Every structure is written in structure tokens, then in C-alpha cells.
């Protein structure tokens, strides 16, 4: 099954009023559970970057770890986790970022990325872009050259794609959903 024949929208479960009333939660676990659909999604996400010299894939906790591992494998690249504060055992750098529902912090190991390393950023969804923007700031603090950012889902009305593009980061997504 090729990415062009897969209905990724149909493979994503929508849960109304989660985690709070008025939010339509886009759940990729149904996409991940289907071997054919998961494979097609990974193939489609990797395609634009096959010849871009990606050395590392940085995945944002937690679904970005699942996607990041698969993308890293397909690109023959390493994987770097970007985690919530307090989850990494070695010396870290940290950034505060805004969420749709508040503020949080994320971190990565200080020695995870050498200056000039070509890095692809990934997560399941881009909404307001606060988390992804925080990840970009961490990667750039270490001197990474960000090749792009790829996500399964874009919620364009929330402006996250534009927020990253305003930082000079190219964004690719498989599907877009209206609303929140």
C-alpha cells in the first residue's frame, strides 16, 4: 500500500471534548495500529528528506518518539529525544514553551547534537506550535541545522505551521483538520 492510496484522515480517530470541552482530539494510535497505514505514513514523512543528509531525527515526547524512531530507521539517522523536564539522566538544556492550555518546560541532553548537525524534527501534530517552537529553540541552542519539521497532522487554524515557518523552518504534514 503506497502513501498515495492511503486515506490518512480515515485512519485517525477523533475524540470530541477531550481533554476538555470544545476540543476535537486527533488520536493517531489507530493509524499506528495498522501496519500498512503506519508504514505508508512513515514512507510519506521520509520521502521529502531522503536526499537531505539528515544525521539525526529529534522526536518530541511522546508520540514523536514513535514516529522519530521509525523515521530515523528509514533515513539511517540517529534519534534524539526531546523530553518533558526532569526525565533525562544526564546534563541537559531546557526551554519553557507555551501550550494551548498553559506553560511547560522541555529539555534535551546538552551533548545530544553537535554544532552543524542536520536535524529533522518530528511529532504527531502541530497545533499552536508552542511545543515545536520550543524544540527548535533547543536544537538551535546546540547549533543544529534544522532541515525541516514533519508531522502527521496540522491544525492550520491554530497557526503552528506559520509560527515555525516564521522561524525559517520548513514544515510538512500528511493531513490537515479544521478546528481544534
Given 61, 94, 100, 110, the catalytic residue? 100
94 is catalytic: no
Give the pLDDT confidence of 89-104 residue by residue, as tens digits: 999 999 998 776 678 8
Quick check: pTM over 0.75? Answer: yes
100 is catalytic: yes
- For residue 34, being part of any structural domain is answered with no
Distance of CA 12 to CAs 1, 123, 126, 163, 174, Å?
17, 15, 15, 24, 11
Segments forming the whole domain that contains residue 107: 45-176
Give the pLDDT confidence of 12-53 residue by residue, as tens digits: 999 999 988 988 999 999 999 999 999 999 999 999 999 999
Given 63, 83, 161, 163, the catalytic residue? 63
Query: For strand 171-176 and strand 118-126, is the pairing parallel, antiparallel, or unpaired?
Result: unpaired
- For residue 27, being part of any structural domain is answered with no
The torsion angles phi and psi of 38, rounded to 5 degrees, stand at -60, -45
CATH code for position 61: 3.40.50.2020
The torsion angles phi and psi of 179, rounded to 5 degrees, stand at 80, -160
Question: What's the residue count for the chain?
Answer: 180
- For residue 2, being part of any structural domain is answered with no
Number of domains observed in the structure of the chain: 1
Amino acid at each position: 500500500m503506497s502513501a498515495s492510496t492511503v486515506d490518512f484522515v480515515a485512519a485517525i480517530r477523533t475524540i470530541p471534548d477531550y481533554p476538555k470541552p470544545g476540543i476535537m482530539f486527533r488520536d493517531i494510535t489507530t493509524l499506528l495500529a495498522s501496519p500498512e497505514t503506519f508504514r505508508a505514513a512513515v514512507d510519506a514523512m521520509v520521502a521529502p528528506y531522503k536526499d537531505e543528509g539528515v544525521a539525526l531525527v529529534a522526536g518530541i515526547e511522546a508520540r514523536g518518539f514513535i514516529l522519530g524512531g521509525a523515521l530515523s530507521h528509514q533515513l539511517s539517522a540517529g534519534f534524539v529525544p526531546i523530553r518533558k523536564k526532569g526525565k533525562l539522566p544526564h546534563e541537559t538544556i531546557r526551554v519553557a514553551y507555551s501550550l494551548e492550555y498553559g506553560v511547560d518546560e522541555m529539555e534535551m541532553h546538552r551533548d545530544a547534537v553537535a554544532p552543524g548537525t542536520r536535524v529533522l524534527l518530528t511529532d504527531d501534530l502541530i497545533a499552536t506550535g508552542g511545543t515545536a517552537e520550543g524544540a527548535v529553540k533547543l536544537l538551535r541552542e546546540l547549533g543544529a541545522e534544522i532541515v525541516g519539521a514533519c508531522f502527521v497532522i496540522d491544525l492550520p487554524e491554530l497557526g503552528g505551521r506559520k509560527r515555525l515557518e516564521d522561524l525559517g523552518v520548513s514544515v510538512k504534514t500528511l493531513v490537515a483538520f479544521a478546528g481544534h
